[in-house]
Amino acid sequence: MRCTDRFHPAIPDFRDPFARDRDRVIHTSSFRRLEYKTQVFINHEGDYFRTRLTHSLEVSQIARAIATALGCREALAETIALAHDLGHTPFGHVGGDTLDACLKRSGNANGFEHNFQSFRVVTKLEKRYAPFEGLNLTFATLEGILKHSYPYRKPFLSVWYDETFGLDYHPSLEAMIVDHADEIAYISHDIDDGIQYGLISFETILQNDLAAEIDEKVRAEGLERGTKLHRYRFVGMLISHLVTRLIEASAPRIPKTDTILCRTIPATEPSPVGFDAGLATEIKKLKKILFEKLYRHERIVSKMHAGKVCIEKLYEALTGDTNLLPDGYRKRLEKEKKERVVADFIAGMSDRYALKRYREIYGLA
């Protein structure tokens, strides 16, 4: 299958195939619901904080810049970026982990995995055309959503996935770019939100050599620590620094070809898109600081625990009485297992809708 092929015939129009994919993703209900799904901070905490939607837009912007600089397909990178989080549950990674545990306790060994759920959203759960399920996206877009930047061999994937997508191969360069753009976006913007919310101090961030280097550049502009402008410039310079270094390190390794590299680079070969070893080490150290001092902060853990309980209780109630499901989901029960149908319903919820349904079902004020 060629990278621009689709599984179902499509009437040609004036758009690039990947731009057409992008437009289809943007118009989905799943994409709109990202506005009210948690990135790190619960959505209703305030208007300032990132959501899955703003994060996806930020990843898209960074991925487009990198793809253009490296001579890759900007529209393909943009589309993968916009779609990469469509399968995320409410309440961030805690929600996905909780739903995974619920499914496995119910005897569903496959559990829940958000990469695969994103793939299912665009190939099954979104229905926009009468003859088939899904959005009928190009092969390259589907491969990028499924595999991110690394081989994706999971026990729940049938032989068809291996034969179709080559699970022992890297995805396209554009998918690799999105994976790094995702990392750049969440590191920099979680620092921004964490400092704004008072959950991590700038002094803690500066324990990292990379952060200290960026801070020095910002202060050279005459901006004092503790001011909004300093924080804004720090985040902007951090993104710019990481993007520039990624491009510099990757450019010499990018294969010189006009062909989109779907299912062509074996997993045994290193990814051609990546940071130099020294910077990669500093990024890991910075992520460790964020994990220990921000993501495990008492106030975040408390909110995430509430989200975990919400999902557990919703799963219990909906599997116990499927009449609580909307009509469309109840109809699916004729052909599909109850647990997976319930998981799809919960995964598609926004944070606020999940909390609303939880309160309604359990009679809470």
Q: Domains in the chain and their CATH numbers?
A: 17-362 (1.10.3210.10)
Contact present, 274 and 246 (Cβ < 8 Å): yes
Q: Is 38 helix (H, G, I), strand (E, B) or coil?
A: strand
Q: Report whether 84 contacts 56 (CB < 8 A).
A: yes
CA distances from 25 to 84, 123, 317, 339 (A): 10, 11, 31, 26
pTM value surpassing 0.75: yes
Amino acid at 191: I
What's the pLDDT score for residue 92? 87
CB proximity list for 103: less than 8 A, separation 6 or greater: 110, 111, 112, 339, 340, 343
Give me the average pLDDT of each 10-residue run along the chain (365 residues). 87 91 96 86 58 94 97 96 95 93 93 94 94 94 86 83 90 95 96 90 95 96 92 97 98 87 86 96 96 88 90 97 96 95 96 94 84
Angle at 186 between CA 180 and CA 190, to 5 degrees: 155
Q: Which of 86, 85, 114 is nearest to 99 (CA)?
A: 114
pLDDT at position 10 is: 86
Going from the C-alpha of 273 to that of each of 45, 60, 67, 248, the distances in angstroms are 36, 17, 10, 10
**CB-based burial, 328-342: b 16+ in 10 Å, e otherwise:** ebeebeeeeebbbbb
Sign of the torsion angle spanned by Cα atoms 275, 281, 285, 287 = positive
Length of the chain: 365
Task: Evaluate whether 21 touches 137 at the Cβ level (below 8 Å).
Answer: yes
DSSP single-letter state for residue 205: H
- CA-nearest of 34, 99, 155 to 345 is 99
**Packing angle, helices 298-320 and 351-362, rounded to 10:** 60
- For residue 259, what pLDDT is reported? 80
φ, ψ of residue 73 to 5 degrees: the values are -80, 110
Q: Could you give the C-alpha distances from 152 to 82, 115, 137, 257, in angstroms and in order? A: 20, 10, 19, 24
> What token pair was written down for 139?
């092969």
- Separation in Å, CA 320 to CA 95, 315, 339, 345, 365: 20, 8, 10, 14, 22
Using CA atoms, how far apart are residues 6 and 24, in angstroms rounded to an integer?
13
Instruction: Report residue 335 as tokens.
Output: 């052909």
